[in-house]
């Protein structure tokens, strides 16, 4: 179930994601559960795995900025902020396109998207189609997994593959910024500080 992150493992991960499966992988913060964000069945699998409440959206990672247009509606202001502050451990919330499954947005019609500042993560995401879900790889209420072994301890048989990218080195989650309007709102301060975003927050 656990395989070291390399070219062969990424190809295997891509095939699993294309077939509607679920993987775990090291994101730019902690380990996350990865699936095709536009596959409603795969997103539902993740909710069932986590025991996640239906009112909590699931964020996604993208490999490249143009991928935003697949998921975010009327994204000009979104992309303006992204160009200035991405790549970074900064999750931006925008208005979701109608093709995005309700299980991803939890009925909010909005979606959190992040472009990681990590070449290895972006390469894996690109291999898997340019976007992956990335909700933390742990049952709801438990600490986020920091190693592949911790993921396996949480989900001993339920995942199709755990991509071992080493140990997480960060201590905080991503910062979350709501840019659904032109008056951004800081939802959660994490690795990107409020001071870094002062141009947006005033």
Q: So what's the pLDDT on residue 46?
A: 95
Residue 140 is part of which domain span?
2-201
Q: Rounded distance, CA 18 to CA 23, Å?
A: 11
Scan for tokens 């160009």, then name that residue: 83
- The structural domain count of the chain equals 1
Count of other CB atoms within 10 angstroms of residue 11: 12
Distance CA 99, CA 80 (A): 23
Name the stretches of the chain with pLDDT < 50.
none
The pLDDT assigned to 17 comes to: 98
User: The whole model's pTM is what?
Assistant: 0.95
Whose tokens are 């970074």? That residue is 88
The pLDDT value recorded for residue 1 is: 86
* The predicted structure's pLDDT at residue 53: 66
pLDDT in tens, 164-202: 999 999 999 999 999 999 899 999 999 999 999 998 987
pLDDT given at position 202: 75
Domain containing residue 8: CATH number: 3.90.870.10
Tokens for 151, please give them: 């993921």
Dist CA 55 CA 143 (whole Å):
20
């Amino acid at each position: 179930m656990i395989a070291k992150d390399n070219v062969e493992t990424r190809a295997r991960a891509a095939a699993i994601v294309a077939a509607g499966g679920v993987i775990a992988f090291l994101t730019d913060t902690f380990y996350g559960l990865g699936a095709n964000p536009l596959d409603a069945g795969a997103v539902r699998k993740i909710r069932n795995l986590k025991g996640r409440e239906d009112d909590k959206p699931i964020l996604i990672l993208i490999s490249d900025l143009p991928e935003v247009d697949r998921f975010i509606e009327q994204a000009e202001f979104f992309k303006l902020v992204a160009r200035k502050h991405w790549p970074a451990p900064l999750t931006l919330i925008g208005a979701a396109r109608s093709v995005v499954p309700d299980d991803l947005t939890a009925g909010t019609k909005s979606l959190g998207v992040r472009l990681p500042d990590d070449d290895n993560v972006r390469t894996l995401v690109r291999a898997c189609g340019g976007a992956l879900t990335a909700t933390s790889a742990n049952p709801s209420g438990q600490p986020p997994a920091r190693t592949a072994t911790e993921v396996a301890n949480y989900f001993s048989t339920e995942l199709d593959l755990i991509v071992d990218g080493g140990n997480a080195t960060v201590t905080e989650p991503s910062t979350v910024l709501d840019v659904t309007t032109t008056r951004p709102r800081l939802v959660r301060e994490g690795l990107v500080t409020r001071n870094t975003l002062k141009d947006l927050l005033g």
